Structure 1
Amino acid sequence: MAKSWSPDSWRGFPIKQQPQWPDEAELDRALKQIHSYPPLVFAGEARSLQAGLGQVAAGNAFLLQAGDCAESFEEFSADNIREKLRVILQMAIVLTYSMGVPVMKVGRLAGQFAKPRSADFEKIGDEEIPSFRGHIVNAAGATAAARVPSPERLVQAYHQSSATLNLVRAFTKGGFAALDRVHAWNQEFVASSPAGERYEQLANEIDRALRFMRATGMDTESNSNLSTVDIFTSHEALLLSYEEALTRKDSTTGGWYDCSAHMLWIGERTRELDGAHVEFLRGVGNPIGCKVGPTASADEVLELCEAINPARIPGRLTLISRMGAGKVEDGLRPLLRAVRDAGHPVVWACDPMHGNTFTSAGGRKTRDFESIISEIEGFVRAHRAENTWPGGIHVELTGDDVTECVGGGDELRDADLDTRYETVCDPRLNGRQSIELAFRTADLIRNGDA
């Protein structure tokens, strides 16, 4: 790998999962327009997240990375963002209160538009058309015309990300996320579930603790730790031309940062050591994630650590395992051992979603809630065996009352999937399932026995 780096050095490396843009001149105009716009996030914010992730790497905090499979241009609204934030806040408070450690909250939002695909084309009826690659590239409609990549969508993605960030900052700093509102976060359809009832009990305990603090003379009204939260943004850095257009040199440190999000990750399909995605992300100062699937060897993972974090900065690199419930324990242990013994200060997080996707009898792509929990159990067992810290979870969810994953407290079945199957790509947990997952994850880690 070349030692020199620049925001465009990735262009000299092999690249996968890129759309075939029909008009290069139009693409160039769109990218220049985005490059002229203000950054979406700031380098100092990315450094704050990295410091928090350094605490996760040391075993003193936990990472909750959660949000949409793929953000939609069509479903964009303030209500949609608020309900997603509400579930993330609920999950974070469950994890914090139950485990007794700070939780770093990182949303899959304000940029999670592009999706990798297993094939460039799909068959619709008798016609083969380009695959849907997310609203940042093309439309989901089942026609060849809808699937033509449009560079103008890159510009629209920037503007929607900007609007989303404005709302997130307003909600998290303007009172919505204050700890004395823990009851208000419990949505009607969540509160009626067993997990929602358990959450209400926890909220009552927090209320009593706040009353006690006020009775002893503590000022809970103006304490920013109780009235505001930090929620950082992240997405898969798939479309490198878009990421390059939003890369800026930090005036404070002189380093380069990808200002499209606080944290970027490399997917399982694009983590080649000699590929463009590793080349691009090794040079930006953001915290970086990398998905690690069941085919990854210890040597490959160590090489990734050296490529992305040669200085061994705590919190710089998060390795996100996505093995599948039946493979995670045996597959993960050699990787944990190798990284630990080599002294790399990584965050280990579990993506229990992508390795457990299947097609239901009714033809819907879905995930079984118990398989998701089973992968987290195996993840925790592997860490216990290797004396390492199971540092986080990475899940796809929505605040809406969807029926996309089977199982959970409501015991959703195959026949229920058609009721509200709304995802533009992969199946997501609904609010009830998300809160239940948070409780069960906290119980597994707190009890120390999976």
Structure 2
Amino acid sequence: MTQTAPQFDFSSTSPTGTISGPAADPQLDIWRELPIAQQPSWHGTEEYEQAVAELGTLPPLVFAGEVDVLRERLAAAAEGRAFLLQGGDCAETFAGATADKISARVKTILQMAVVLTYGASMPVIKMGRMAGQFAKPRSSDSETRDGVTLPAFRGDIVNGYEFTEESRRHNPQRMVKAYHTSAATLNLIRAFTQGGFADLRSVHQWNQGFMANPAHSKYDVLAGEIDRAVNFMSACGADFEALKRTEFFAAHEALLLDYERALTRTDSRTGLPYDTSAHFLWIGERTRQLDGAHVDFLSRVRNPIGVKLGPTTTGDDAIALINKLDPNREPGRLTFITRMGAGNIREKLPAIVEAVQKEGAKVVWVTDPMHGNTVTSQNGYKTRRFDDVMDEVAGFFEVHRALGSVAGGLHVEMTGDDVAECLGGSDPIREDQFDALYESVCDPRLNHMQSLEMAFLVADSLAHQKS
């Protein structure tokens, strides 16, 4: 869906802007005159105007100071002094925003981070595809079942998954529900990561549970090294109180610009605009048009920005995006998230990396090994093979090692639950498990055990990168 974005009058916004309404800078609304893809059909209605106006009065979900901290952390990742781990659901749902499911996702990311920290011998930046990942791009505007055609499901922030006319209606009030669901999710994340849930000793014990499965015995050596390291720290009197808390950042695809614009605030310290819906926002492969609305809008906010790069990306494309999104070459500002597919990564990525190197730009290079490896199972489910996912990760590290650039992060669709959506792994998921254990409403995710296995495999690649 490509259209021209609607106008909305923000002139009644309070002049302070910081808490009470969207930032008033007219430059932030240039995107409304540009071609825009993947947007709902709710504009011009009273219901739409009420929803956006209400969002404009609500407090920020994240704060400018937190965003600035993340930018500093990502600058370290670009230089090889930190590693980014970004994980979570392909598409969050309102029903899935329960304490148990949120804690399971956070727990899995913390477990992965401990393994990666040891393998990399450097800090791991922990970031969730959480508290805002409610919108999903679609390849078609509609879906047909048994001769009935309805709008495609675009994520809970737009419409419902149930295949009925009322559920599939584009409802702008869902943006308000997405805000409140995100606020509740962030509240839990902050409680978990600051209240002792992230204690290194507890996370280490959880990983020992993973190792109790004989299928994971090939990781015994690394697990044993981590165990000895933790015991050594304890014997030396390490301050484990300080290790009970950790930083955790929220991220989502900035797909729905009505929502993002309404939550953009002016920082009272600097007078600059921040999108306070998340710490980190990314532009998808389908919406990264240089002359499009998404690139223009995100070029004007202070958040660190990511861009997904698929196999059709050229070096010139990458340079043009850098010039638009990071013209001042600010450390930590821009992340390129490559999603090439296992069969393309070694062939397509080098030219892009070389072009960026020649330009002298320093971005954070992150691999998304999920989206380029989607297939359909024999029983009709969208799935991914664990071996293909890991082959793309391996190719990502190989390319950066060969070119002397920094492999800076991992972006993965995963869950803390024991679902069956991606095939394979050491304790393999099979197609015959899908009917009972396939839960995703969009793309298939690695389950808890597959996610931890990935961490052990990536830790080995990180160790080689450091050597």
TM-score, normalising length from structure 2?
Answer: 0.91
Query: Are the equivalent residues in 2 in contact too, given 1:406–1:417 (CA < 8 A)?
Result: no
CA displacement, residues 132-154 of structure 1 (integer Å, 9 cap, x when unaligned) = 00001100001222100111111
1:204 matches 2:227: yes
Q: Is the 8 A contact 2:421 2:446 kept in 1?
A: yes
| Alpha-carbon shift at residue 372 of structure 1 (Å) | 0.1
| Secondary structure class of the residue paired with 1:361 | coil
2:360 matched residue in structure 1? 343
- For residue 369 of structure 2, what is the aligned residue in structure 1? 352
Corresponding position of 1:54: 75
CA distance in 1, matches of 2:415, 2:240: 30
Distance in 2 of aligned mates of 1:194 and 1:444: 21
**Aligned counterpart, 2:115:** 94
Confirm or deny: 8 A CA contact 1:139 1:146 kept in the other structure: yes
Checking the alignment, whether the CA contact within 8 Å between 2:199 and 2:240 is kept in structure 1 is no
Q: Which amino acid aligns with 2:180?
A: H
Offset, 1:221 = 4.2
Deviation at 1:185, TM superposition (A): 3.3
1:2-21 maps to which residues of 2 (within 5 A)? 6-21=27-42
Corresponding residue SS for 1:358: strand
Question: Per-residue displacement from partner, 1:22-64 (whole Å, max 9, x unpaired)?
Answer: 7621011011111100000001101100100000001111110
Query: Does residue 362 in structure 1 map to residue 385 in structure 2?
Result: no
| SS of residue in 1 equivalent to 2:383 | strand
Counterpart AA for 1:178: D
- Cα deviation 1:85-125 (Å, max 9, x = unaligned): 01000100000011201111111000000000000001111
Q: Is the aligned partner of 1:73 residue 2:94?
A: yes
The 8 Å contact of residues 189 and 432 in structure 1, kept in 2 or not, is answered as: yes
Give the aligned partner of residue 45 of structure 1.
66
C-alpha distance in structure 1 between counterparts of 2:363 and 2:357, whole Å: 9
Residue 342 of structure 1 aligns with an amino acid whose one-letter code is E
Q: Distance in 2 between matches of 1:425 and 1:194?
A: 29
Tell me the residue number matched to 2:169. Answer: 148
Instruction: Find the residue that maps to 1:7 and give its secondary structure.
Output: helix
Tell me the residue number matched to 2:178.
157
Shift of 1:194: 3.7
Shift of 1:183: 3.7
Distance 1:293 1:353, change over 3 A: same
- Asked if structure 1 preserves the Cα contact closer than 8 Å seen for 2:339 and 2:370, the reply is yes
Aligned-pair CA distance for 1:315: 0.8
- Give the match's secondary structure for 1:395: strand
Is it true that 1:321 corresponds to 2:341 in the alignment? no
- CA-based RMSD of the aligned residues comes to 1.9
The aligned length equals: 441
On the 8 A contact 2:118/2:459 being kept in 1, the answer is: no
What's the offset of the Cα at 1:420?
Answer: 0.5
* 1:259/1:126 CA distance change after superposition, 3 Å: same
SS in 2 for 1:65: strand
2:157 corresponds to 1:136: yes
What are the equivalent positions in structure 2 for 1:239-278 lying under 5 Å apart? Answer: 239-278=256-295
For residue 203 of structure 2, the aligned residue among 182, 186, 189 is 182
Q: TM-score, normalised by structure 1?
A: 0.94
- The one-character-per-residue Cα deviations of 1:191-242 (angstroms, maximum 9, x if unpaired) are 536448748635522431232221xxx5x144x3x12100100000000010
Distance 2:308 2:400 in 1: 17
Q: What's the counterpart of residue 418 of structure 1?
A: 435
State how far apart, in whole Å, the 2-side matches of 1:193 and 1:418 are.
26
Give 3-state SS (helix, strand or coil) of 2:126's partner.
strand
Structure 1 unaligned spans of 5+: none
- 2:350 aligns with 333
Residue 291 of structure 1 corresponds to: 308
**In the TM superposition, what is the alpha-carbon distance from 1:425 to its structure 2 partner?**
0.7
* Residue 394 (structure 1) aligns with: 411
Aligned to 2:12: none
Take 1:230 and 1:381, find their aligned partners in 2: how far apart are those partners? 29
- Letter in structure 2 aligned against 1:136: I
Contact 2:253/2:282, CA 8 A, preserved across alignment: yes
Mean CA deviation greater in 49-58 or 5-14: 5-14
Q: Kindly provide the CA deviation profile for residues 386-432 of structure 1, in whole angstroms up to 9, marking residues without a partner as x.
A: 11011111000000000000000112222222230001110000011
Question: Which residue of 2 is the match for residue 166 of structure 1?
Answer: 187
Q: 3-state SS of the aligned residue for 2:36?
A: coil
The one-letter code of the counterpart of 2:446 is L
> Partners of 2:443 and 2:206 in 1: how far apart?
25
SS in structure 1 of the partner of residue 436 of structure 2: coil
Quick one: distance in 2 between partners of 1:314 and 1:194? 42
* Matched residue type, 2:270: T
More moved, 72-81 vs 353-362:
72-81
Identity between Structure 1 and Structure 2 (%): 50
Q: 1:85 aligns with which of 106, 110, 120?
A: 106
3-state SS of the aligned residue for 1:73? coil
SS in 2 for 1:418: helix
Unaligned runs of 5+ in 2: 1-24
The one-letter code of the counterpart of 2:157 is: I
